[in-house]
Structure 1
Amino acid sequence: MQTSKLNLTLARLVFASTALVCFIGVLLELWYAYYHKSSLPPNAGFTRTFGPGIDSLLNQFSFFTTQSNLILGITTLLLALNLHRTSSAFHIWRLIGIINITITGIVFNFVLQTVPKNDIIADTASRLEHDIAPIIAVIGWIIFGPANKVTLRRILLAAILPIAYAIFTLIRGAIMEWYPYNIMDVPRLGYSGVSINIVGIFVLFLLIAGFLALIDKFLSSKFGRISFPSS
């Protein structure tokens, strides 16, 4: 459908706001990590911790939450700067950002066991990354898309990233004797228990991707979702 200047402005504002939420959340998370010793997941089967200092800050990039917010933040910032993106690679990363941030919100709020930080910086970072970012990301995608960009090929290519993340985390964990989440705690759960959790998360990834594909097709055909022209 033809987009008005108001729609274009609103789309840029929503995408820019989403990017800002993601980047502020990550920056606060990194600030807190630099000045505090890392905490262990509840009932952890390992004892290694990081920090305070640069090692704790750098370790934050191994968290799925951090990576999801960075991918979402970068892709929405790029959309805010230029709505008319036609690159298939970009829309694969856009899809990764939406799916991964949705997984982040669901798993953190309904699956993970966490230790409260009781710190305004850490709590604000967590709220931005796990609650606000997923909500505004999905709402922004539903309203502004870009529409008609979810395909089976892109879903399959996007699925490579969570697989790579799981492999990387298990290899790194075995070397460093540290794991980012209690659901990936190999010393406590064993590889069989962790594998079940990983398969469950991957199934969730595919379910979300399929749901997005159906919503994309349904809304685009029934309500004419906003689709930005290439020129």
Structure 2
Amino acid sequence: MQTFKLNLILARLVFVSTALICFVGVLLELWYAYHHTSSLPPNAGFTRTFGPGFDSLFNQFSFFTTQSNLILGFTTLLLAFNLDRSSSSFHIWRLIGIIDIIITGIVFNFVLQTVPKNDIIADTASQLEHNIAPLIAVLGWIIFGPAKTVTLRRILLAAILPVAYAIFTLTRGAIQEWYPYNIMDVPRLGYSGVAINIVGIFVLFLLIAGFLALVDKLLSSRFGRISFPNS
């Protein structure tokens, strides 16, 4: 009984810490955006920029990084307040947060071409959002779960969000002549080149989801993972 209570306390601490890292990273990112003109991706095929001011700040919400950190932050915060969240809708968003933050870390560190800002605020935000948040999120999910929550139905529903993000980004980009990442730079790559990148990211999404489903099944409720019935 004492071990179980200790696991619950540790789980809450990990989930609160994850949420704090995500929110601090986003707040620092927004602060920097408000005070600076947005930068262009390397070799960008467009010249549109935002800011400084509220236009640059609000534009940050169009980044996959910002969205994934916010989703992860809110879902882990909700878990910290109530570990007994067994509703399917919550665990779909929990799954989205985990998969998207993993994609954020992988794509940023191994795929994207980025320009260093050499600013302590921007660099700290980047470290929190792209490196620390993915790491603590995955460790927290593996150790504390909740377990037995990854199903094929939830994976398919979670996959709707990256598809919607791609459609939104391309539509908005065509209107405003701006794209958040060099892998989605239509003026430089064309729609065919961007489509290949989007398909690649979607495949990565499914591979990560499949891996999480396998881990979820193998680990079950071991290592202190909190187990709730699927609903």
Runs of 4+ in 1 over 4 A off after TM superposition: none
Q: Distance in 2 between matches of 1:139 and 1:96?
A: 16
Q: Distance in 2 between matches of 1:229 and 1:188?
A: 48
| Equivalent position SS for 1:4 | helix
Give deviations 1:191-224, integer Å, cap 9, x for gaps.
Answer: 0000000000000000000000000101117x46
| Equivalent position SS for 2:96 | helix
- After the TM superposition, which residues 159-174 of structure 1 pair with which residues of structure 2 at under 5 Å, given as runs? 159-174=159-174
Q: Which residue of 1 aligns with 2:197?
A: 197
TM-fit CA distance, 1:133: 0.0
Q: Does 1:80 align with 2:80?
A: yes
Q: Distance in 1 between matches of 2:193 and 2:228?
A: 47
Q: Distance in 1 between matches of 2:217 and 2:160?
A: 23
TM-fit CA distance, 1:227: 2.1
> Contact conserved, 1:40 with 1:49, CA < 8 A, in 2?
yes
Q: Report the residue type matching 1:30 in the other structure.
A: L
TM-fit CA distance, 1:4: 1.2
Q: Distance in 2 between matches of 1:138 and 1:195?
A: 28
> Contact conserved, 1:3 with 1:227, CA < 8 A, in 2?
no
Q: Distance in 1 between matches of 2:159 and 2:4?
A: 34
Q: Which residue of 1 aligns with 2:214?
A: 214
- After the TM superposition, which residues 2-151 of structure 1 pair with which residues of structure 2 at under 5 Å, given as runs? 4-151=4-151
TM-fit CA distance, 1:69: 0.1
Q: Report the residue type matching 1:226 in the other structure.
A: R
Q: Which residue of 1 aligns with 2:226?
A: 227
TM-fit CA distance, 1:226: 1.9
Give deviations 1:128-185, integer Å, cap 9, x for gaps.
Answer: 0000000000000000000000000000000000000000000000000000000000
Q: CA RMSD in A?
A: 1.5
Q: Distance in 2 between matches of 1:2 and 1:227?
A: 15
Q: Report the residue type matching 1:90 in the other structure.
A: F
TM-score by length of 2: 0.96
> Contact conserved, 1:83 with 1:228, CA < 8 A, in 2?
no
Aligned residues: 229
Gaps of 5+ in 2: none
Gaps of 5+ in 1: none
Q: Distance in 1 between matches of 2:226 and 2:199?
A: 34
Percent pairwise identity: 84
TM-score by length of 1: 0.96
TM-fit CA distance, 1:86: 1.3
Q: Does 1:181 align with 2:181?
A: yes
Q: Report the residue type matching 1:166 in the other structure.
A: A
